[in-house]
Chain A
Amino acid sequence: MIAVTGLTKARGGVTALADVDLEVRPGEVTAIVGPSGSGKSTLLRCVNGLETFDAGSVCIAGHQLAPGPQPPRLLERVRRDAGMVFQQFNLFANLSAVDNVALAPRVVAGMATEEARRRAIGLLDRVGLASFAAARPGTLSGGQQQRVAIARALAMEPKVILFDEPTSALDPAMSEEVLEVIVDLARGGQTMVVVTHDHALARRTATQVVELIAGRITRLGPPAAVLAG
């Protein structure tokens, strides 16, 4: 599903990623852990083309990304197949919860408004927020916002979902709500890459764990092995 080879990126003289190799097979959940500033977000953002890289290659869902700027058309196709969930949720502030979820199916996939809406309500129901369809993002709690964000990513039926610290901005109770949704997705066989500081999250969802330090992969293996120390 994802094959990263020799991925290298420098940022203002600092090496953000150095010769990273990573493979994510369909149905697998990969957790990326590591200290702050080690390049976890950068790696994730290179995978869906939100950032460019200097060397190496990324193959994702059959699309091939090369170093340097990539054509917009290619990036749009990559991103339809690779959903993303952000630490700060980034829900569209001008839209209600249901419109947040329905927007991309409508404008990107060209789905009819009614159908997109029905699908959006179904997805909100799946993350336990059917009754909040009309709510504005600003009126929702952090945990609720993040669950809407997950529903939004799911709406495009992506082949893989990239999570960048989905629970770091949440208190324990809200983290748990979000964690349950991710666990549920993992059970359903959704391919995912989850950057996280939360070892509990990694243990409960991941099939493989990658430890990144200073832009290099230092350890890679099953959760029990990598997270033991």
Chain B
Amino acid sequence: MRDMRKSGTISPVAFLATVALTFAAVQTRAAELDEVRARGMLVWAADQEGGGPHVFPDADAPGQLTGFEVELAGMIAAELGVKARFQQGQWDRLPLLLGRSVDCVINGIELLPERKRDYRCSRPYYAYALQLVARRDGPIDDLEKLGAPGPGGRWRVGALTGSAAEALLRSRHDLEVDVIGYDGTIDSLEQVQSGVIDAALMDDCIFNFYADRFAELRAAGRPFGGGYYTVLTAHDTPRLAVAIDEAIGRIVADGRLKTLYDRWDLAGRQQVLALRDAAEIPAADRRSFARLAAEAMPMLLASAGMTVLLACLAFPLAVVVGLGIALGRLHGPPALQPLLAAYVEVVRGTPLMLQLYAIFFLLPKVGLALPALVAAIAGLALNYSAYESEIYRAGLKAVPTGQLEAALALGMTKWQALRHVIVPQAVRLVMPPVTNDFIAMFKDTSVCSAITVIELTKRYSVLALSTGRIVELAVVTALLYLAMSWPLSILSRRFESRQERAA
């Protein structure tokens, strides 16, 4: 009857195991220069999703990648006397791939003190500036406009999660801005265009590249701030790091980089001059865990609150809709029954992630722009309603037919009989599996990070990556999940034992 994808509780052990597997990279030793040479291949990681002009699928040759970093990776590999091989990854998690079959990350990674602390960074290979992008017909024409609240209160501004643009927005407390983190820059541009958010901040070269595709958007003000891109390697491959750094030096010195950038319309001469004068950036200090925990805890707690909020709003909705569907399928008009069955099949047959995407990114295209939180709750409720309807259908069928006949024999209508006799019994019957699904939903809320809702898992991931305290924060996060699921598990067991006593 139940879908096996959901297990009963959020096990902190499982969470830690997942984290350990995901981040094992950091602990295992990465391939050094001699190993890279021996295998004849330099594996570099990047995110091709909405990745122009850095790394993106070639429109003319499907299945092929193109972009200035694809060519740069090829040049660096050639300097090392090996071939380049691409590895796809989610942008904000690319550094974690180092040592896990990935030798270096080349993907618009900004040279920042924190990065220097946690990884080895090459000399800069590109100088970027930040560009604010807004709707052509909108009021935002400059960053300073964001200093005062807009007509709808605080401005909603998107940025790539984990990027310097996001960090800058979050640090500018003088701006009346709610920062919304996206997994891809294109996603944020889409949402500015459809009016879900007011503006997006990104590296200038990205908007220059996509400007034609988003004709309704404009550069709001001149590019500002910015910094440099660097090639990341793991701490424990110093010789590979030096080799890559020197390779970049040669590529810049002999003019190949200028030619490359000119070909990509990236102002080669300006770039080379900016790179020549780049100032040294110091590595950040490693903070004590006590201080970090003190700083991170409020954020983690707030995100845990978001997880609770999502589940506690979405689940009751899912239950009500699910029960309605189950009643409709068993007792509703015959014409409605195949439609409801189709709904259940479609919703169960498609991933939650896709449903959230459809609600958040596609509905605005037909004029229905839901805020991220509403979209997340709607998506979770929609998805779970299909599963709950199957549970309730089984529960309704499990109530003996004599109960319905006895109610009808007293002159009740079918709906009166269902409401007063059948449904109350079915609801009690399915309490354990439904509680179980409620616990499962706490875990599934993490998918909502794909549509910019930051819940506990996402917050953990962002914090862990920006501080390098991957394991310690994982323990804290696991404990928070346990604190959420524990009371529910107790509740679920209580329902079960009460039912056993009643039986």
A: which residues have CB within 8 A of B?
A: 48, 50, 72, 75-77, 79-80, 82-84, 86, 88, 90-95, 103-104, 107-108, 138, 149, 152-153, 156
Contacts of B420 in A (CB 8 A): 92, 103, 107
Given contacts A86-B402, A88-B402, contact A108 B409 (CB under 8 A): no
Instruction: List which B421-438 residues lie within 8 A (CB) of chain A.
Output: 421, 424-425, 428
B502: chain A residues at CB < 8 Å are 138
A80 to B413 Cα, complex, angstroms: 11
Contacts of B493 in A (CB 8 A): none
With beta carbons under 8 angstroms apart, the residue of B403, B405, B412 that contacts A108 is B412
Taking CB atoms and an 8 Å cut-off, the chain B residues in 407-424 that contact chain A are 407-414, 416, 420-421, 424
6 CB contacts below 8 A, A to B, read: A79-B409, A90-B406, A91-B406, A104-B410, A107-B416, A156-B411
Chain B residues contacting A93 (CB-CB under 8 Å) are 403, 425
B403 in complex: contacting residue of A84, A90, A156, CB < 8 Å: A90
Nearest CB in chain A to that of B404: its residue: A90
From residue B200, how far is it (CB to closest CB) to chain A in Å? Answer: 54
Contact residue among B405, B413, B416, B421 (Cβ-Cβ distance under 8 Å from A50)? B405
Contacts of A108 in B (CB 8 A): 410-412, 416
Query: Once the chains are docked, how many angstroms separate the CA of A31 from the CA of B37?
Result: 99
Find out whether the CB atom of A92 lies under 8 angstroms from the CB atom of B421: yes
Q: How far is the CB of A19 from chain B (nearest CB, A)?
A: 26
Instruction: Assess A104 versus B402: contact at CB under 8 Å? Given A92-B421, A93-B425.
Output: no
Given contacts A107-B420, A108-B416, contact A92 B406 (CB under 8 A): yes
Name which of B406, B421, B424, B428 has the most chain A CB atoms within 10 A of its CB.
B406
A50 with B408: CB separation less than 8 A: yes
Check B406 against A77 for contact (C-beta < 8 Å).
no
Which of chain A's residues have a CB closer than 8 A to the CB of B408?
Answer: 50, 75, 79
Complex contacts, A86 vs chain B, CB 8 Å: 402, 405-406
Instruction: Identify the closest chain A residue to B407 (Cβ).
Output: A92
Tell me whether A76 and B407 are in contact in the complex, defined as CB-CB below 8 angstroms, given that A86-B402, A94-B421, A138-B502 are known contacts: no
Size of chain B's interface in residues, with CB distance under 8 A? 20
A92 to chain B, nearest CB (A): 5
Q: Which residues of B contact A153 (CB under 8 A)?
A: 409-410
**Closest Cβ of chain B: how far from A177's Cβ, in Å?**
20
User: CA–CA, A94 to B406, complex, Å?
Assistant: 13
Measured CB to CB, the closest approach of chain B to A163, in angstroms, equals: 12
CB <8 Å contact, A72 and B421: no
Please report whether the interface of chain B is mostly helix, strand, loop or mixed according to DSSP. Answer: helix
B412 shortest CB reach to chain A, Å: 6
**Residue pair B413, A72 in contact (C-beta under 8 Å):** yes
Which B residues are in CB contact (< 8 Å) with A75? 408
- B425 — which chain A residues lie within 8 A by C-beta? 92-94
Question: A90-B402, A94-B421 are known contacts. Are A79 and B411 too (CB-CB below 8 A)?
Answer: yes
**Complex: how many Å from CA A84 to CA B410?**
7
Given A94-B424, A94-B428, A108-B416: A77 touches B407 (CB 8 Å cut-off): no
Residues from chain B with a CB closer than 8 A to the CB of A103 are 410, 420-421
Alpha-carbon distance between A184 and B405 when the two chains are bound, in angstroms: 26
Contacting residues of chain B (283-305) with chain A, CB-CB under 8 angstroms: none
Contacts of A48 in B (CB 8 A): 409
Q: Is the CB of A72 within 8 A of B414?
A: yes
From residue 376 to 404 of chain B, which have CB atoms closer than 8 A to chain A? 400, 402-403
- Assuming the contacts A90-B405, A92-B403, A94-B428, asked whether A104 and B421 have C-beta atoms less than 8 A apart, the reply is no
CB neighbours of B407 from chain A (8 A): 92
A22: min CB distance to chain B, Å: 19
Q: Apart from A79-B408, A86-B402, list 18 A-B contacts with CB within 8 A.
A: A50-B405, A75-B408, A79-B410, A82-B409, A83-B410, A84-B409, A90-B400, A90-B402, A91-B406, A92-B406, A92-B407, A93-B403, A93-B425, A95-B421, A103-B421, A104-B410, A107-B412, A153-B410
Which of chain B's residues has its CB closest to A106's CB? B420
- Residues of A contacting B424 in the complex (Cβ-Cβ under 8 angstroms): 94
Give the shortest distance, in Å, between A95 (CB) and chain B (any CB).
Answer: 8
Compute how far the CA of A84 lies from the CA of B424 in the bound complex, rounded to whole angstroms: 22
- For residue A155, give the distance in angstroms from its CB to the closest CB of chain B: 8
Contacts of A156 in B (CB 8 A): 410-411
CA distance A156 to B421 in the complex (A): 17
User: Given A92-B421, A93-B403, are A83 and B409 also a contact pair (CB < 8 Å)?
Assistant: yes
Complex contacts, A72 vs chain B, CB 8 Å: 413-414
Q: How far, in whole Å, are A76 and B403 apart by their CA atoms in the complex?
A: 16
Residue on A with the closest CB to B416?
A107
* Across-interface contacts of B400 in A (CB, < 8 A): 90
CA distance A92 to B407 in the complex (A): 8
Query: CB-nearest residue of chain B relative to A104?
Result: B410
Given the known inter-chain contacts A90-B402, A90-B403, please indicate yes or no for A50 contacting B412, CB distance below 8 A.
no
Chain A CB count within 10 A is highest, among B403, B407, B409, B416, for: B409
A152 to B421, CA, bound (A): 14
A83 to B408 Cα, complex, angstroms:
10
Cα A107 to Cα B418 with chains together (Å): 12
A108 CA to B409 CA, complexed, in Å: 11
Report the nearest A residue to B400, measured CB to CB: A90
Q: Which 7 A-B pairs have the closest CB atoms?
A: A80-B411, A90-B406, A104-B410, A90-B402, A84-B409, A79-B411, A94-B424
Interchain nearest-CB distance for A198 vs B (Å): 21
Q: Are A76 and B402 touching (Cβ within 8 A)? A: no
- Report A-chain residues with C-beta under 8 Å of the C-beta of B402: 86, 88, 90
Closest to A107 in B: B416
Which A residues are CB-close (under 8 A) to B412?
76, 104, 107-108
Which residues of chain A are within 8 angstroms of B410 by Cβ–Cβ distance?
A: 79-80, 83, 103-104, 108, 152-153, 156
In the complex, chain A residues whose CB is within 8 Å of the CB of B421: 92, 94-95, 103
Q: Which residues of B contact A92 (CB under 8 A)?
A: 403, 406-407, 420-421, 425
Whether B411 contacts A76 by the Cβ 8 Å rule is yes
